[in-house]
Structure 1
């Protein structure tokens, strides 16, 4: 995913964590009030903390977003790095052919076989209102040792950074 230096410097840490993850679980609320999540390939995090996705205009998530004050959550996970990010924000659909051209890439063709000119292809832009991250700076072996020590001592392990960031 392409990421840009953030206007809000507090979001730079979030950007650093998610730039190599690419796939987010996007959660919306369906017609029955259920939380519904699906994997989405993030295309870009722009300088305003907005995260961009391709989707189909006819997708149920578009109606779910419109029916629930545009509120969504994005979850980014890198198990190997023990890095986790939760982004709360508002999503809007956008039919912007210039932005679609800017973000289009060969991987998108697999999900949108009619190409970037498909009239059903639109963008979802998720404005970050708040992000929370957990990021372990230690290696897997050190984290394992910390967990084992915690199990013996009864003191919870210190597994790295945890911070909430508001945009």
Structure 2
């Protein structure tokens, strides 16, 4: 499982943004890009967010979320539960110039919060072959009727 977590972490680290999907009123799904914060993946991820906002209201009403990351052809889809926190130590730990740009009052802006997501399962697609080999694999699959071998897909329960 450590190798799988390393692969997941590498894909997540390579993404600059993640798409966070929440469930809103009437069961509608809403997806928004949020900046990826650099930290070791241990089953929990964090994102800066403004609070109050429609996103934080939706998380408080239904904590189930999905987070999607893409690093080139590799992808991670994380399913879990989210909470909104204003923990000052965590905010200080993750504060960076990028976050500074999004909050008018900087670190002291009263709307600064973190979205904390605890993963329940993670599915990843790790493409480990260069584009030329992927094209060859697809062409071979068309001729042989077999599935192309371009990488690995796994689901990890946390």
Normalization by structure 1: what TM-score?
A: 0.87
Query: Which residue, 79, 83, 93 being the options, matches 1:92?
Result: 83
* Structure 1 Cα separation of the partners of residues 102 and 6 of structure 2: 29
Query: Which residue, 8, 20, 34 being the options, matches 1:14?
Result: 8
* Structure 2 Cα separation of the partners of residues 34 and 149 of structure 1: 41
* Structure 1 Cα separation of the partners of residues 16 and 78 of structure 2: 14
SS in 1 for 2:148: coil
- How far the C-alpha of 1:154 sits from its partner, in A, is 2.5
Provide the residue aligned with 1:66 in structure 2: 60
Answer yes or no: is the 8 Å Cα contact 1:44–1:53 preserved in 2: no
Unaligned 5+ runs, structure 1: 1-7
In structure 2, the CA distance between the partners of 1:39 and 1:47, relative to structure 1 (3 Å rule), is closer
The answer to whether the aligner puts 1:33 opposite 2:63 as a matched pair is no
Give the total of aligned pairs: 157
Provide the residue aligned with 2:109 in structure 1: 118
Answer yes or no: is the 8 Å Cα contact 2:7–2:126 preserved in 1: no
Unaligned 5+ runs, structure 2: none
Answer yes or no: is the 8 Å Cα contact 1:88–1:128 preserved in 2: yes
Query: Which residue, 41, 47, 52 being the options, matches 1:53?
Result: 47
Answer yes or no: is the 8 Å Cα contact 1:85–1:132 preserved in 2: yes
Provide the residue aligned with 1:75 in structure 2: 68
- How far the C-alpha of 1:12 sits from its partner, in A, is 2.5
- How far the C-alpha of 1:22 sits from its partner, in A, is 2.9
- The superposition leaves residues 25-67 of structure 1 with CA deviations (integer Å, 9 ceiling, x where unpaired) of 0001110211111101121444532101100111101111111
* Structure 1 Cα separation of the partners of residues 89 and 108 of structure 2: 11
CA RMSD of aligned residues (A): 1.5
Normalization by structure 2: what TM-score?
A: 0.92
* Structure 2 Cα separation of the partners of residues 43 and 136 of structure 1: 23
SS in 1 for 2:104: coil
In structure 2, the CA distance between the partners of 1:52 and 1:13, relative to structure 1 (3 Å rule), is same
